[in-house]
Structure 1
């Protein structure tokens, strides 16, 4: 009789452990399905972003004559808006002949059989990426938004607008200020008069694209500081303590890209970067005050 009772108890325990293991397995499978569901949602967000970029790339490819002559080759043309404004300022404030740029002394060449075809493809894709960047941010925001609490949603509600605006301003600043000044400086920099500048189209496009996109990404600094401050990684105290190092770095960058050593050109390049850094400090300080206030209310 005792043996039968022990057997029943052991059977019940085995049944319970089996049921519990099945439940645990079901929970793990549910979690795995949830993870894969998130991957599927992310995949469709990325697919829609890629489609938008492809559409803009196709439009750029279709209107490539205008894009190449007026946009890509703009900083090479002495009649470019930046150079005309510099000549106008030179005449008005008597800044000297070096400030007025009337010639970009180098020739554009192609050395590859398929160079011009790949140039059209690469530059069209670059234009498509720039134009589709705001939509890419929108799709990323749509993916992240459901996982945020109401307070986080409210505080980050303007993320797409401000990130897109800063990116566009940075692209314009890089294209109209940094790219032409850098191209003029590099074109006029000579080691010897016997060396003639024959620049390949790939090198020229790479320089313009790097400087323009680099400025667009750099102008995202306030958004990066916003995210890092939200995560508690960046603090206003740290940014204020490193301000002097940031000033030196900004001045070095401005000195490299400006064609002449005059103070006006350096200020033109460095002032927006100074403003970005100070705006980033204010954003970090505002988030830090809100965090301390929430902690005070909690305790």
Structure 2
């Protein structure tokens, strides 16, 4: 009996270590993908930052410019922006490595759902960032600049502060545009019934405005630009989730074993 227990413990330890080594390899491959893309882009780091800052530069008055208050800011900020761009470009590889690691432990119908979820998540995240860059940034910056003229104040922003603001806004809108995916996953996995998600719609709308008030600048315009899309995307998620309501037969599928 003792020998059997020792054999089982040894098998569990070997299985754990094999999964740990596989996770290490997947992380290394994902990191290498990001590094390779970054190395290809680093030469154009100043141009990438200029494109990244274009919404603010366009809103500055004639002669206005961005400033650097840190000695190393003019070097490291463009590098940070380039690294973020490299991560976004390499994100499909990162997501594939994650999928390859968890796929063996999923149901068959869950595996079929992974690819659409990965593609839709990546696409919606990019759309959310594009929405912030092309619509939210120009609107908010012009709105803020209009308040400076009557005050006689000169609008100048440190590039590091702009980076922090932009990254926070990109992340907020990127995650916001994932709402349909979250709704579909909740329904497809049977975590929350579709009828319940419809029932809590008023609370979701209130929550959308609360979240937008926390993560966006303190002006009504930017808050509306986040809360309204979040509400509409929730409705879109409810519509799409109707096609992914789990069937009773799928609950009987046995999870694959090693």
Structure-1-length-normalised TM-score: 0.71
Q: CA–CA distance in 2 between the matches of 1:122 and 1:62?
A: 13
1:169 aligns with 2:127: yes
Q: Report the 3-state secondary structure (helix = DSSP H, G, I; strand = E; otherwise coil) of the residue aligned with 2:246.
A: helix
TM-score, structure 2 as length reference: 0.81
User: Given the alignment of the two structures, is residue 233 of structure 1 paired with residue 191 of structure 2, yes or no?
Assistant: yes
Answer 1 or 2: higher relative contact order, Cα 8 Å, separation at least 6. 2
Partner-residue secondary structure (3-state), 1:199:
coil
Please name the residue that 2:246 is paired with.
290
Residue 24 (structure 1) shift: 0.7
| Matched pairs, number | 249
Match in the other structure for 2:256: none
Q: Secondary structure at the match of 2:151?
A: coil
Structure label with greater radius of gyration:
1
Q: Note closer, same or farther for the CA distance 1:106–1:25 as it changes in structure 2 (3 Å cut).
A: farther
Aligned equivalents of 1:113, 1:219: Cα separation in 2: 37
Q: 1:199 to 1:72 in 2, by over 3 A?
A: same
1:194 and 1:174, CA in 2 relative to 1: closer, same or farther beyond 3 A? Answer: closer
In the alignment, structure 2 segments of 5+ residues that lack a partner are 253-258
| Matched residue SS, 2:66 | strand
1:270, distance to aligned residue in structure 2 (A)? 5.7
Q: Does 1:64 align with 2:22?
A: no
Q: Does 1:75 align with 2:32?
A: no
Rounded to whole Å, the distance in 2 between the matches of 1:29 and 1:232 is 36
Change in CA separation of 1:28 and 1:269 when aligned onto 2, cut-off 3 Å: closer
Instruction: Give the C-alpha shift of residue 21 in structure 1.
Output: 0.5
Q: Taking structure 1 as reference, are residues 219 and 201 closer, same or farther at Cα in structure 2, changes over 3 Å only?
A: same
For the Cα contact (< 8 Å) 1:105–1:187, is it kept in 2? no
Matches within 5 A, 1:1-299: 20-69=1-50, 71-78=51-58, 103=61, 107-190=65-148, 193=151, 195-250=153-208, 253=212, 272-287=229-244, 289-292=245-248, 294=250
